[in-house]
Amino acid sequence: VEQRDDDERPLATARVTRFDLEADVVVVGLGCAGACAAIEAAHAGADVLVLERAGGGGGTSANSGGQIYMGGGTALQRACGFEDSPEQMFRYLMASCGPGPDERLVQAFCEHSPAHFDWLVEQGVPFKASFFPDAHEPPQDDGLTYSGSEDVHPFCEIARPAPRGHCPQVVGSKGPLLMQRLLGGAQRAGARMQFGARVERLICESDGRVAGVVARGDGAARCVRARRGVVLCAGGFIFDDAMLELYAPQLRACRLRLGTEGDDGRGIRIALAAGAAALRMDAGDVTLPLVPPVALRKGVLVNRAGQRFINEDAYMGRLGEYALLRQGGQVFLIVDDAIFARPELFPVEIAAVGETFAELEAELGLPAPALHATLELYNRYAERGLDPLFHKRPAQLAPLVHPPFAALDLGVERYTYAVFTLGGLHIDARGAVLTPAGEPLPGLFAAGRTTSGIAKQGYSSGLSLGDASFFGRQAGRHAAV
Amino acid sequence: VEQRDDDERPLATARVTRFDLEADVVVVGLGCAGACAAIEAAHAGADVLVLERAGGGGGTSANSGGQIYMGGGTALQRACGFEDSPEQMFRYLMASCGPGPDERLVQAFCEHSPAHFDWLVEQGVPFKASFFPDAHEPPQDDGLTYSGSEDVHPFCEIARPAPRGHCPQVVGSKGPLLMQRLLGGAQRAGARMQFGARVERLICESDGRVAGVVARGDGAARCVRARRGVVLCAGGFIFDDAMLELYAPQLRACRLRLGTEGDDGRGIRIALAAGAAALRMDAGDVTLPLVPPVALRKGVLVNRAGQRFINEDAYMGRLGEYALLRQGGQVFLIVDDAIFARPELFPVEIAAVGETFAELEAELGLPAPALHATLELYNRYAERGLDPLFHKRPAQLAPLVHPPFAALDLGVERYTYAVFTLGGLHIDARGAVLTPAGEPLPGLFAAGRTTSGIAKQGYSSGLSLGDASFFGRQAGRHAAV
C-alpha cells in the first residue's frame, strides 16, 4: 500500500491562524445522508454549511436505484394492503443483516420507520400506492416491492414477510428524483452549500473534540469552524483500491463497483486518524444479478463441486454474498430448455450444454455422478413442490426435465457482480461517531456509507438509502444541539 | 456495547506534570513478542523497560503449544532432510493466509526465516532434529512437523510442501520452555521489567508522536516516557466480549477461547484512539480439533445438507474456518466401524448411527438420497484412491464400507472449537504502526496478536508465535533507533 501524499491527520485548533468559514453544523458530502442531515440540522435551528467535493449535490445516491428500505407499517405499505410492524421488521433485520447487527441501531431504525416515511413524503418525495411483485427494481413507477429475502427461507419463518422496498414514483431509475427532492429540501431549509470543496482533514481541540474541517477548493485550503458539530456523509470506499486491498480484498473480485469517485474512503480515514472506530471494514453488498427474467429463479445454482448451496429465490445480494464469500465466486446456474433465458442486465457465457445431466456434468469437468445426483435429488422433490434441502418456494420449483440442459457461468471472474462497501465508522443511534472505547467522539457525527449501519454484511436493497436518510436525519439533529 | 469507564484516549504530553519513569524503548506486554522486542531493542543499545500487567512474564505464549512457523531452509528443516526455500514458503503463505495477505510482511518473514531460527537457537531455545509425521502438536519432543496445509490440496500444487512447524524440545506443551528461554534472553540483554503494570493509554506529543504510556500499578497511575519508541505487544482481544461483538461476532460461537485475561484488546484500542489503523478485525483462527486420532481424517465431513465441503486432511484451522464461516458451524463427520474413534481432545456426541447410509441419513433428518449420494460418490472414487471433488490424499482415502456407520456431531454448538483473534493494528515490515493513510505513526511499534500479521484469516499453526517472535524483533530493533 502506497503512502498517501497529503496529511489526513487532524489539525490542532492551536495551529489554525484563521477560520475562513464558520457554521453551527458542517456537513461533509451532499448525497442522501448529507441532504437529510442538513435538513434536520437546519430545522433544529442551526446555521448549516454543506461542503461537497463534486460540482453539485447528489453523490452516489443520485446514481442509485433510489429504493429506500422502510417498514413497520408505513402509509405506503398500508395503502398497498400489507401489514407490517416495527417488531416484525426488527426480527427480519436482526436475522438477515448479520453477523452481529447492532440491536440499538436496528431498534431505532424500525421503531421510527413509519414516521420516517412520512417525513420523506413531506420533503416532496412521491410514492405511488402500487405493489410490484417481481422482487427486483421496478422498471415502471410502482412504489413498493420486496427488496430483500423477507418472503423466502429462512426469513419467512423468522418474521412475517412484508415488502419494504419503497421506490420514489418515476419510471426507471429513482435515485435522481429522490435526490432532487432532498436537495430542494435542504435548500428550502436554508442550508448553505459549497461545491468543489473537498474536505481533507478534521480540526480538533487539544482534548480531541472535533471543531471543524480543512476543505480544499479553487486550489486553496480553507479552515472551516463547526461551532456545534461536523457530520461526515462522505460515502464509502469502493473506489479506493488501497483501502479495498487492506480491508476488503475479497470485494475486489467484483467487476461492477457501485459509487462515484467520491467513494474513496477519505471521510472514514480522517475520522479514524482523529481516534474514531470503524467496524466490519471487510463487509460489502455483493449482488449477483440473476433476474430479470424471473424465470431464472427456477434454475439450480451449483458450486464448482456441482452442489447446491442456497435457495435460488433468495435476494440477489444474498446470492452474491454466498457465491463470492462462501463458494469462492465459482458458481453455475443450471437450466433446462423450458426456462432457458439469458439474464437481462449483463452478458453471460454458457459453460456447458447437454442432452442429459450426465453430458452436462462431463462437459463441466465434474466427476460422475456429482451434478447428476444433485439434479436428480432436486427434480425428485421439485415434482412435488418440495425443496427439503434449501427450501425454495413452491412457485419457483419446477423439475428440470426439458433437454437440452445448460450451465450458465455465473462465476465472479466471468459474470458481472455489483459491489459496494458496507464497513465504516461506528455510530450510535443518534449518529454520533464512537471511539474504540465506545464513547462518543465529541463534535463528530456520521451517516450513510461512511458508517457501518444496519447491514453488517447481510444486505437487502434499500438499506443504504435507509441508513443514509434515517441516520443522516439523526446525525443532523443531534449535531445541531 | 457498554461505554468503558476509564479513559483510553492519548494523554497530551503538555498535561504530564512529571514522568515517573523513563526509558529509550518501552515495551508493553511480556509474551513472546514483547520478549523478542526487548531483546533486540536492548541489543541495539537502547535502555529498555518492559511493562507487564500480570505478575510475571509469559502471557498467552507461555500457555500455547509453543510451535513456531519458520522455514525457507532452516537448519532444523535441513537436519530433518527437508528441502525448503523462502520462495516456496512465500508461495504457500500468500496462497493460504488470505484473503489478501500483506506481501511485504510475508516477504520479510520468509526471506529472514532461516536466520530467525538461528537467532532463537542463540537465545537458548532447543530444537531436536526429529520429524513428527502426524501433523498435529507432537506429544513428545520432536522438533519439526507439518503445522498447516502445506502437503494437502490445493497448496501442495501451489508450492513445494515442507514442514514448517518448529517445536521447542520438550515433552508435552512447548510454550513454557519457549518463554522461559526468551524471558531469560530479555533479562540477560539487560531489559528492565515491571510486573503488575497495566498500560492504560498512550502519551502523545501535540504533533501526534507517541512519547510514552500511562501505566497503572499498586493503585497508582504512572507516566512513563519513551525517549525513542513504544512497542505494543499486548495480545489480542479474544477475552473482550464487547470487542468480539463489535468486530468479530462469528468467533463468539466457539467454546474454547485461547488466551489469557490480558487478551482484552486494550493495546489495540489505545493505539486506535491515537490514530492508528486496524485491519481484518473480523478474522480469527478457528480450530476444529478433529485429530488425534489421525484415523478420523479418513472420515467424511459433511454439512447440514449432507454435502462434503473440504478435503478432510486439511489443517484443523482450515477445517474450522470452513466449518464455522462457510457452513454456519453445522457439520458432521461420517465414519464407519473400521475407523470409528472419538476425538482424543474433546468429548463428542454421536448424532446418528445406521447399518446403511440410508438409515444414517434418515436419522439425521436428511431427505433421501442426499447423504447417501454423497457417500456413494465418495466411496466410488475412494476405492481407486481418488477424490476428484476435494482432492484428499490417497493415504487418507478409504471407502466407508464397514457398518455400522455413525455421524459425529462436530457442530460448533456441541463440539469444542478453539479460537483466538487475528485482527489488529496495521504494521509494516519494521513493526511500525501505520495510520489510516498508510504512514507510520511516529514513535509507535507493535507485534504479535496486537497486530494483523501474516495470517489475515487463513491460518497455519505457529504463525502467531512466528509473528510475535519475528516482528517483535523488528519492532524492538526499529524502536531503538
DSSP alpha helices (H): ranges in A354-422? Answer: 357-363, 370-382
Partners of residue A249 in chain B, C-beta under 8 Å: 98-100, 456
Q: Is the pLDDT of residue A303 over 70?
A: yes
Report A:165-204 residues touching B (Cβ under 8 A): none
Decide: helix, strand or coil at residue B131.
strand
Per-residue model confidence (pLDDT) at position A2: 46
Compute the mean pLDDT over every residue in chain A, rounded to the nearest whole number: 96
Report A:279-338 residues touching B (Cβ under 8 A): 279-282, 305-308, 325-326
HSE-CB at B318 with a 13 A cutoff on CA atoms is 21
Tell me the C-alpha distance between B50 and B472, whole Å.
Answer: 13
Q: Which residue of A lies nearest to B268 if distances are taken between CA atoms?
A: A436
HSE-CB at A210 with a 13 A cutoff on CA atoms is 36
Question: For B72-84, what is the mean pLDDT?
Answer: 98
Tell me the C-alpha distance between B83 and B413, whole Å.
Answer: 41
Per-residue model confidence (pLDDT) at position B237: 98
Nearest CA distance, A124 vs chain B (angstrom): 37
Q: For residue A377, give the nearest of B10, B373, B381 by CB distance.
A: B373
Tell me the C-alpha distance between A462 and A468, whole Å.
Answer: 10
Decide: helix, strand or coil at residue A362.
helix
- b/e for B134-159, b at 16 or more Cβ within 10 A? ebbbbeebbbbbbbbbbbbbebeeeb
Partners of residue A272 in chain B, C-beta under 8 Å: 272, 275, 277, 435-436
CB distance A269–B4 less than 8 Å? no
Question: For B449-478, what is the mean pLDDT?
Answer: 98
Question: For B226-244, what is the mean pLDDT?
Answer: 98
Per-residue model confidence (pLDDT) at position A137: 84
Q: What are phi and psi of B116, to 5 degrees?
A: -65, -40
Which letter does DSSP use for residue B107 in this model?
H
User: Residues A14-37: pLDDT tens digits?
Assistant: 999 999 999 999 999 999 999 999
Per-residue model confidence (pLDDT) at position B378: 98
Compute the mean pLDDT over every residue in chain B, rounded to the nearest whole number: 96
Work out the angle between the directed axes of helices B463-479 and B113-122 (0-180°, nearest 10): 80
CB distance B377–A369 less than 8 Å? yes
Tell me the C-alpha distance between A376 and A380, whole Å.
Answer: 6
User: Residues B398-418: pLDDT tens digits?
Assistant: 999 999 999 999 999 999 999
A131: Cβ contacts below 8 Å, ≥ 6 apart:
A80, A81, A82, A142, A143, A144, A145, A163
CA angle (A472 as vertex; A466, A473 as ends), nearest 5 = 100
Q: Is the pLDDT of residue B1 over 70?
A: no
B111: cell is: 526471506
A241 touches chain B (CB under 8 A): no
> Do the bridges between strand B48-52 and strand B451-452 make them parallel or antiparallel, or are there none, so unpaired?
unpaired
User: Residues A352-374: pLDDT tens digits?
Assistant: 999 999 999 999 999 999 999 99
User: Residues A407-442: pLDDT tens digits?
Assistant: 999 999 999 999 999 999 999 999 999 999 999 999
Q: Is the pLDDT of residue B2 over 50?
A: no
What is the percentage of chain B residues whose pLDDT exceeds 90?
95
* Owner of C-alpha cell 460422475: A368
Answer whether B276's CB lies under 8 Å from B425's CB.
Answer: yes
Answer whether A278's CB lies under 8 Å from A296's CB.
Answer: no
CB distance B245–A3 less than 8 Å? no
Question: For A272-289, what is the mean pLDDT?
Answer: 97
B3 touches chain A (CB under 8 A): yes
Tell which phi-psi region holds residue B275, choosing left (phi > 0), alpha (psi between -120 and 50) or beta: left
Q: Which residue of A lies nearest to B267 if distances are taken between CA atoms?
A: A436
Q: Is the pLDDT of residue A4 over 70?
A: no
Q: For residue B437, give the nearest of A99, A245, A269 by CB distance.
A: A269
Report B:376-405 residues touching A (Cβ under 8 A): 376-377, 381, 388-390
Q: Is the pLDDT of residue A330 over 90?
A: yes
Q: Which residue of B lies nearest to A280 if distances are taken between CA atoms?
A: B247
ipTM (interface pTM): 0.94
Q: What is the band of A206 on the pLDDT scale with cuts at 50, 70, 90?
A: confident
User: Residues B103-152: pLDDT tens digits?
Assistant: 999 999 999 999 999 999 999 999 999 999 987 789 999 999 999 999 99
Answer whether B167's CB lies under 8 Å from B142's CB.
Answer: yes
Q: Is the pLDDT of residue A5 over 80?
A: no
Work out the angle between the directed axes of helices A463-479 and A103-111 (0-180°, nearest 10): 90
CA angle (B462 as vertex; B456, B466 as ends), nearest 5 = 75
Partners of residue B210 in chain A, C-beta under 8 Å: none
> Do the bridges between strand A165-166 and strand A210-217 make them parallel or antiparallel, or are there none, so unpaired?
unpaired
User: Residues A132-173: pLDDT tens digits?
Assistant: 998 778 999 999 999 999 999 999 999 999 999 999 999 988
Q: What is the band of B172 on the pLDDT scale with cuts at 50, 70, 90?
A: confident
Partners of residue B7 in chain A, C-beta under 8 Å: 437
